[in-house]
C-alpha cells in the first residue's frame, strides 16, 4: 500500500497541481473517491487559479484539516477554533521552513498568471526544483499534526 506522500507525489509528478496532489494524498481517510478529491482541489493550484496567493500545497492541506477536524452541522463553535489552530500550525510550520506560504513569494520572479511566467516556470523546472518540496512538506506537517 502506498503512503500518502507516495500517492501525492505520483499525482504531482503526473501533472496534477499542488493542491490536488496534497488533497489526493489523504482522500482515502475520508468518504470521498480520488476523482472527487482531484476535482474539489483543482481550482486551488498555483495559489488559487494562478493568482499566486496562498500556496496550493498549503490550501490542499487546509482542506484536509477541514475534512478531518472541521465544524459540521452538529458541532459547536469549539470545533471551529480547534480547526483554526491546526490551520495556523500548518501555515506557521510551512513558512518557518520555506520562508513564506504565499505562492508569489515562494516563486519570486515568476508570474503564473502570464504566458511568460508559465514559460519561466517550465523553463526553470520549478515544478521539480521547488514545488515538489512544498507538496512533500505539507504532507509531512499534516501527518505530524493530524
pLDDT band, very low/low/confident/very high, at 30 (cuts 50, 70, 90): very high
Q: What interhelical angle do 4-13 and 132-145 show, nearest 10? A: 160
Torsion angle of alpha carbons 44, 31, 7, 49, nearest 10°? -10
pLDDT of residue 18: 98
Q: Which among 47, 75, 51, 67 has a CA at the least distance from the CA of 59?
A: 47
The mean pLDDT of 24-37, rounded to a whole number, is 97
pLDDT tens column, 94-106 = 999 999 999 999 9
Per 3-state DSSP, the chain is made up of helix, strand and coil in percentages (nearest 5) of 75, 0, 25
Give tens-digit pLDDT for 38-74. 999 999 999 999 999 999 999 999 999 999 999 999 9
Statement: the pTM of the whole predicted model exceeds 0.85: yes
Amino acid at each position: 500500500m502506498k503512503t500518502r506522500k507516495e500517492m501525492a507525489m505520483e499525482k504531482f509528478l503526473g501533472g496534477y497541481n499542488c493542491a490536488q496532489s496534497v488533497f489526493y494524498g489523504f482522500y482515502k481517510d475520508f468518504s470521498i473517491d480520488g476523482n472527487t478529491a482531484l476535482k474539489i482541489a483543482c481550482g486551488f493550484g498555483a495559489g488559487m487559479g494562478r493568482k499566486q496567493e496562498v500556496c496550493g500545497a498549503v490550501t490542499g492541506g487546509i482542506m484536509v484539516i477541514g475534512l478531518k477536524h472541521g465544524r459540521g452541522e452538529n458541532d459547536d463553535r469549539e470545533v471551529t477554533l480547534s480547526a483554526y489552530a491546526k490551520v495556523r500550525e500548518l501555515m506557521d510550520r510551512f513558512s518557518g521552513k520555506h520562508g513564506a506560504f504565499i505562492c508569489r513569494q515562494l516563486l519570486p520572479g515568476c508570474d503564473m498568471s502570464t504566458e511568460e511566467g508559465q514559460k519561466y516556470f517550465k523553463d526553470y523546472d520549478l515544478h521539480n526544483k521547488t514545488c515538489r518540496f512544498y507538496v512533500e512538506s505539507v504532507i509531512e506537517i499534516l501527518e505530524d499534526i493530524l
